[in-house]
Amino acid sequence: MLKKNILITGGAGFIGSEVVRQMVSNYPDYTIINLDALTYAGNLENLTSVENATNYIFEKADITDAAAVNSIFEKHAITDVIHLAAESHVDRSITNPLDFVYTNVIGTVILLEAAKKYWKGNYDKHLFYHVSTDEVYGSLGASDPAFTETHRYEPNSPYSASKAASDHLVRAYHHTYGLPVLTTNCSN
């Protein structure tokens, strides 16, 4: 049986830290590697309950740093990725759109490239799980029903456009290279 070494990006954030805590607690035979740049959105205090767990490792790095990402894949023999790291504040995307393109688009491609490189086409026991946002489908009014994955893409901010781009890149890596991917669009 392949030992699971799961890389969780953005694992010190609000949602990511809950995913890390659940994975560390519920899957003691898996090693959970938390990669987070610890920007304004990341806080290691969210992870005090698991910081000393034997199946938990923290790596401070930025997903836009290809050398660091490749080093982490090699060092920890990453078998799967849960990709949560993202710039996600709409107001910040309006004033600093390039930050969103770098993290959400370039960072995603760097992770996809690392997975492709280290999994070497032997994808049967690997998964790249990409978490996106429902904002890629546009904006909802107060009485509108929730979006579903069947809605067409209509991003209305640099944030949602960068997440839409990352969704499309993940899909393209699946269709072009056979990379095993799953994408979920969550509401914020």
Catalytic residue among 36, 62, 80, 135: 135
Instruction: Tell me, yes or no, if 159 is annotated catalytic.
Output: yes
- Estimate to the nearest angstrom the gap between the alpha carbon of 123 and the chain centroid: 18
Give 18: exposed, middle or buried? Use CB within 10 Å, 0-12, 13-18, 19+: middle
Q: Which two tokens stand for residue 181?
A: 């991917």
Instruction: Tell me, yes or no, if 18 is annotated catalytic.
Output: no
How far is residue 3's CA from residue 77's CA, in Å, rounded to a whole number?
A: 9
Instruction: Tell me, yes or no, if 134 is annotated catalytic.
Output: yes
- Estimate to the nearest angstrom the gap between the alpha carbon of 59 and the chain centroid: 14
Catalytic residue among 62, 134, 167, 173: 134
Catalytic residue among 56, 129, 137, 159: 159
Please name which of 41, 37, 32 lies closest in space to residue 82, comparing C-alpha atoms: 32
How far is residue 81's CA from residue 94's CA, in Å, rounded to a whole number?
A: 29
Active-site positions read 134-135, 159
